[in-house]
Amino acid sequence: MPNWMQALLGINRSFRVKLILSLSVIILLSFGITGYLTYQYNLKLFEEEISKQFSRTNEEALAKMELKVQEIIRISQTIVFNPQIEQVIKRINSAEDADAFNLYFDKKQIEEQIFQIKSDAPYITGMYLYDLNGNPSYFSYTTSTINNLSDEVFQVISSKLSDTYGNLVWTSMALPSSVEPSGFRQTIIIARYMKNSFLNTYGVLVMAMDESFFSGSLKELTKDGTGEVYLFNNNKELLYSNVTQNLAGKQQLLVNLNQTQVMDNHLFVQGESKATSFKLVSGTSLTDIRSKNKALSQRIVYSGLISILLTSILIVLSTGKLLRPLKDLLMGLRKVRSGDFETRIEIRTKDELAYIAESFNAMAEQVGRLIKEVYMTQLSEREAELKALQAQLNPHFLHNMFNEIYWKLYLQNEKETASLIAAISEMLKYSLMPVRTPTSVREELQQMRNYLKLQTELFEANLETVIQADEDILDCEIMRFLLQPLVENVFVHGFRNKVAHKVLVIRARIADGFLEIEVTDNGCGMDEAAISQLLGEKGAALPQRSDGRESLGVRSVVRRIELVYGSPYRLEIMSIVDSGTTMRLLLPYITMENGGLTYAER
């Protein structure tokens, strides 16, 4: 039981309520600080995202407006480079004494040509063809929204055309209007010199358009009612704006704006058309964005406060019921700690605390049972240790007895029988050493000689054995009992059905960096399935002995090589049915002098 839980169980109810309320206040303050920091961070991210989105919207609006401007350029070029209009104007200019009918007919032809062109551009509220003296002699068209252009207006237009060579000039002017309460209507004026293919000027084209020509393309920037739009022509003159107040102070700042900037609580972005050299500056109000974000944050804060308040009330109401089972658990733990493992906790509820109580009861019961089991295990281990000591004494006793029998037979001149007893005694002594204790190739081959001597004298009278080993590998280190299972397998399986001329050859040498030991016989051989069983390949069953038991000897050799040495060291078996078998051990070359281990390169 943690210390804080023990302290909480020992205090009275009113203090627990005060403690919980204090914790609630701390949580509330932490929540408020975290909420404020989160609000500021989110507001910054939100403004950055709004800036990116508004910049894209500004670029899209500029692209739409550019298409409309290109349309106006096309209309003006269609009029200026119309050969019929040019010929009629030339005829009017050359025929100073022409009668009124011919003059009327010529102007009627110009009017037909222009009205055919203008039918595709209903947004044009006025169009005028001036002669070089500033008189609208060729064509004049005006809607009810504006009055005819005065001489003063034309003089202003003419001054802006003085430095051009047939390019369009865009400007915004307040023209007299009979439908406006103020008497003036802000109008977009487009003008250019009329030049023929020989660059000779033969007139002036003036077109008037309402500001709705631009406002329609820029409505995405002002649809929320708080956006501001400023369109400047190539001379950095304000061409259109949906803002009519305080333009003088902002205009100079906005026309030179070249990056995103916050000004007057508005976020301004800019874009410039390469085709028309128009510059579009648009701004969106940050007040509305911040107010929406603030309202969202306030709702989150209010929800958090209500959640904390409700949580505090629930904690106060459930503390008593919650702590009573914990107090029982604490008392039970104290009894168990004092050594009373028979104690049990009364289960009062059916919730998680009941599960804890059941677990405690099960734990106390299991600990008591384990203590008894450990006590009984210690008694069993002592008995097993005594038996192990007795088991170790028996082989040593037999070895000593064989040694005494050997000397008695030797003194009685029974040397042949004594040599067999000596071989058995030496093999028994060799087998008493732990299997993990390394030995030398010399000792391992000596044990094979003892084993073959017993087989020859007792069982295999018609057996020829050959043991060949290079002198420089006799002191190499090797695991114990690697050869004995292989040689025994020859007598159990290889010579099972062979009666005469049994040959067994054991060779040991160094080959390609490996310590190579071969056991070759001329027995009955085996097929691939039998080889797979001996090597323990995947899916192969254990081989069977002649008495029906599973043969584990060769399998144990393969497994011990894998565990101790690993790849590339292994046992290989080559066999031909009825022609004999060769089992080859490929082991690491380890000398007994320095204990150095050198792995062969594959």
Render pLDDT for 124-181 as a digit per residue (tens, 0 to 9).
888 888 887 777 777 888 887 888 888 888 888 888 888 777 788 888 888 888 888 8
Sign of CA dihedral 202, 208, 213, 218: positive
pLDDT at 518: 95
pLDDT digits (tens, 9 = 90+) for 194-242: 887 777 888 888 888 888 888 777 877 777 667 788 888 888 888 888 8
Given a cut of 50, whether residue 599 has pLDDT beyond it is no
Given a cut of 70, whether residue 94 has pLDDT beyond it is yes
Instruction: Please give the residue that has the higher pLDDT: either 455 or 320.
Output: 455
pLDDT digits (tens, 9 = 90+) for 520-548: 999 899 999 888 888 877 545 555 554 54
Report residue 404 CA to chain centroid gap: 77
CB-based burial of residue 169 (10 Å sphere; 0-12 exposed, 13-18 middle, 19+ buried)?
A: buried
Instruction: Please give the residue that has the higher pLDDT: either 408 or 242.
Output: 242
Q: How confident is the model at residue 517 (pLDDT cuts 50, 70, 90)?
A: very high
The upper half-sphere exposure of residue 38, i.e. CA atoms within 13 Å in the direction of its Cβ, equals: 11
Given a cut of 70, whether residue 330 has pLDDT beyond it is yes
Q: What share of the chain is helix, strand, coil (3-state, %, to 5)?
A: 55, 20, 25
pLDDT at 510: 93
In what order do the strands lie in the sheet containing 238-241? 238-241, 228-232, 279-285, 266-272, 261-263
By mean pLDDT, which of 51-65, 69-83, 403-417, 500-514 is the weakest?
A: 403-417
Question: Which pairs count as long-range contacts for 96-101, CB under 8 Å and 24+ apart, including other chains?
Answer: none
pLDDT at 329: 75
The upper half-sphere exposure of residue 11, i.e. CA atoms within 13 Å in the direction of its Cβ, equals: 14
pTM of whole model > 0.95? Answer: no
Q: How confident is the model at residue 549 (pLDDT cuts 50, 70, 90)?
A: very low
Query: Among 27-36, 365-374, 431-440, which range has the highest average pLDDT?
Result: 365-374
pLDDT at 597: 44
Look up tokens 């565990």; give the residue: 563
What secondary structure, in 3-state letters, does 514-546 show?
A: EEEEEEEECCCCCCHHHHHHHHCCCCCCCCECC
Query: For residue 535, which of 468, 462, 584 has the smallest C-alpha distance?
Result: 584
Whether omega for the bond prior to residue 568 falls within 30 degrees of 0, making it cis, is: yes
Going by DSSP bridges, is the β-strand pair 228-232/279-285 parallel, antiparallel, or unpaired? antiparallel
- For the chain, the farthest-separated pair of C-alpha atoms sits apart, in whole angstroms, at 172
In one letter, which amino acid is 178? S
Q: What angle (nearest 5°) sits at the alpha carbon of residue 405, between those of residues 400 and 406? A: 95
Burial 173-186 (b: 16+ CB within 10 A, else e): bebebeeeeeeebb
Quote the tokens at residue 484: 């004995």
What SS3 class is residue 179?
A: coil
The upper half-sphere exposure of residue 420, i.e. CA atoms within 13 Å in the direction of its Cβ, equals: 10
Question: Which residues, other chains included, contact 409 with Cβ-Cβ below 8 Å and sequence gap of 6+?
Answer: 415, 417, 418, 421
Name the percent of the chain lying above pLDDT 90: 8
Given a cut of 90, whether residue 505 has pLDDT beyond it is yes
pLDDT at 69: 85
Given a cut of 80, whether residue 364 has pLDDT beyond it is no
Instruction: Please give the residue that has the higher pLDDT: either 411 or 92.
Output: 92
Query: For residue 321, which of 355, 346, 348, 344 has the smallest C-alpha distance?
Result: 348
Give mean pLDDT, residues 28-46. Answer: 63
Would you tell me the crossing angle of helices 352-411 and 286-337 to the nearest 10 degrees? 60
C-alpha distances in Å from residue 513, one per residue of 293, 508, 517: 78, 13, 13
d(CA 329, CA 322): 12
Full DSSP string of 223-284: TTS--EEEEE-TTS-EEEES--SSHHHHHHHHHT--S-EEETTEEEEEEE-TTT--EEEEEE
What SS3 class is residue 445?
A: helix
Instruction: Please give the residue that has the higher pLDDT: either 349 or 556.
Output: 556
Mean pLDDT score of the chain: 76
C-alpha distances in Å from residue 462, one per residue of 390, 406, 488, 506, 582: 41, 26, 17, 17, 20
In what order do the strands lie in the sheet containing 502-511? 463-469, 502-511, 514-521, 580-587, 570-576
What SS3 class is residue 188?
A: strand
Query: Among 175-179, 409-413, 476-480, which range has the highest average pLDDT?
Result: 476-480
d(CA 10, CA 241): 75
Residues linked to residue 186 through DSSP beta bridges, in sequence order: 174
By mean pLDDT, which of 13-17, 100-104, 308-312, 319-323 is the weakest?
A: 13-17
Give mean pLDDT, residues 474-478. Answer: 91
pLDDT at 255: 75
Give mean pLDDT, residues 467-485. Answer: 89
Query: For residue 204, which of 147, 128, 272 has the smallest C-alpha distance?
Result: 128
pLDDT at 7: 47
Given a cut of 80, whether residue 425 has pLDDT beyond it is no
d(CA 101, CA 88): 14
d(CA 541, CA 347): 56
Given a cut of 80, whether residue 336 has pLDDT beyond it is no
What SS3 class is residue 135?
A: coil
Instruction: Please give the residue that has the higher pLDDT: either 563 or 382.
Output: 563
pLDDT at 573: 93
CB-based burial of residue 421 (10 Å sphere; 0-12 exposed, 13-18 middle, 19+ buried)?
A: buried
By mean pLDDT, which of 172-186, 376-390, 418-432, 570-584 is the weakest?
A: 376-390
What SS3 class is residue 477?
A: strand
pLDDT at 408: 57
Given a cut of 50, whether residue 115 has pLDDT beyond it is yes
Query: Among 327-331, 444-448, 563-567, 583-587, which range has the highest average pLDDT?
Result: 583-587
pLDDT at 8: 43
